[in-house]
Amino acid sequence: MADTARARKLAKRISQIVASALEHEVKDPRLARVTITDTKVTGDLHDATVYYTVLGERLDTEPDYAGAAAALEKAKGVLRSLVGAQTGVRFTPTLTFMTDTVPDAARKMDELLAKAQAADAEVARRAVGASPAGEADPYKAPKEDDEDED
């Protein structure tokens, strides 16, 4: 079993090779807006999972995830050959492509934070000029004993 440092180093190299190949060597137009975000390699260095994101043509258009997945599946053999030739490992890892969900999760978190901020602003707006429902100071001060002072 290989050490984790070697697996991380190989994963980083695979990311670079695949990203470069998508940009310069693979001529599929469906891969023009694909970005490689991360790669994970198993401890035995036999399998690599490559994570990617797809951008839309414009900000208001939905990315073509299905087209990108099909194009990556079609180019998998070429990409694996390039990885094998440029890494020099005994066994070239099999490549599996997965859509990276981190940008979507980050967008959802931003939306949730914006909702929470709006709710906090509404509470602060309602609190202006409000008075407490009970006593102004609900905490009672302890009574001082006269005997202690003597």
Cβ neighbours of residue 72 closer than 8 Å, sequence gap 6 or more? 31, 34, 52, 79, 97
Residue (of 47, 38, 133, 124) closest to 93 by Cα position: 47
147 lies in a domain?
no
Residue 40 clears pLDDT 70, i.e. is over it: yes
91 lies in a domain?
yes
User: Looking at residue 132, what is its pLDDT?
Assistant: 74
Structure letter (DSSP) for residue 90: S
First to last CA, the chain: 79
Cβ neighbours of residue 26 closer than 8 Å, sequence gap 6 or more? 71, 75, 78, 79
Locate all alpha helices (DSSP H) within the chain, ordered by sequence: 4-24, 65-87, 102-127, 146-149
CATH number at 89 reads 3.30.300.20
15 lies in a domain?
yes
Cβ neighbours of residue 91 closer than 8 Å, sequence gap 6 or more? 45, 46
Q: Is 38 helix (H, G, I), strand (E, B) or coil?
A: strand
21 lies in a domain?
yes
112 lies in a domain?
no
User: Looking at residue 149, what is its pLDDT?
Assistant: 56
146 lies in a domain?
no
The model's pTM is 0.69
At 68-125, the pLDDT tens digits run: 999 999 999 999 999 999 988 889 999 999 998 887 788 899 999 999 999 999 998 8
105 lies in a domain?
no
- Residues 44 and 84: their CA atoms lie apart, in Å, by 15
Name the domain count of the chain.
1
For the record, the structure tokens of 15 come out as 């990311």
- pLDDT band at residue 144 using 50, 70 and 90 as cut-offs: confident
In terms of residue numbers, what domain contains 74? 4-100
126 lies in a domain?
no
